[in-house]
Structure 1
């Protein structure tokens, strides 16, 4: 048995209930814990995220350097346009929606508390033809 197991990615924010709702809806997750200072959600694939109350939390300013990137989340999606509509509809904000070159296409956003994350289309799993 492992001594240390992977736990939960926890984001500090002033309003954990609101941020948990954003991610719960985005990931189609269920809320599995709530206390006065923390809310935790778990998606169907087992991804767990926590949101801890910190009244002094400041949003990262990425990509501006004055407030370093505190955490960065990547989410893999099949349809970037559909996922973007969902993010915006839930209160997220586009940071940079240009597609990058290479095997992945990705777009950057911030959640309602200002934490940045990326929606990334994974490589096709369809068999090659020809």
Structure 2
């Protein structure tokens, strides 16, 4: 029998929590957590989901698709228009790796701290 666990938070390691929170805030429109600081920043979604960003000294960004430094986790975001969302994310500082395994259905990007994330047509 499942525990009926509800996901309430996702936290990413990074070198600069404020900068990464700002990137995701601009990309998603989520509101900043009022207790964000230089060591830990966060964003809140209306339904209670929290995305956190914690400072890690000597953070090594994932080397996706190469697994020298594994990604360990990636986020996926549904968007109506992949081209429009891609253009905006690149303006905000996202990277777009050459390796794109999703064909026309989804695209892989990296945030400013190097974490891979995907946009899916949704």
Q: Same fold (TM over 0.5)?
A: yes
Match of 1:125 in 2: none
The number of aligned residues is 119
CA shift at 1:70, angstroms?
1.9
Structure number, greater radius of gyration: 1
* Structure 1, gaps ≥5 residues long: 123-130
Contact 2:76 2:119 in 1 (8 A): yes
Match of 2:77 in 1: 75
CA shift at 1:57, angstroms?
1.3
CA deviation profile, 1:76-116 (whole Å, cap 9, x unmatched): 00000110011101100112475735xx7100000000000
Match of 1:20 in 2: 21
CA deviation profile, 1:50-97 (whole Å, cap 9, x unmatched): 000111211000100211122111000000011001110110011247
Match of 2:56 in 1: 54
Contact 1:96 1:109 in 2 (8 A): no
Cα distance in 2 between the residues matched to 1:21 and 1:70:
22
CA shift at 1:3, angstroms?
9.0
- After TM superposition, which residue ranges in structure 1, 4 or more long, deviate above 6 angstroms? none
Contact 2:18 2:37 in 1 (8 A): no
TM-score normalised by structure 2 residue count? 0.86
Cα distance in 1 between the residues matched to 2:44 and 2:64:
26
Cα 1:47/1:87, change in 2 over 3 Å: farther
Cα distance in 2 between the residues matched to 1:99 and 1:57:
26
Give the one of 42, 45, 51 matched to 1:43.
Answer: 45
* Structure 2, gaps ≥5 residues long: none
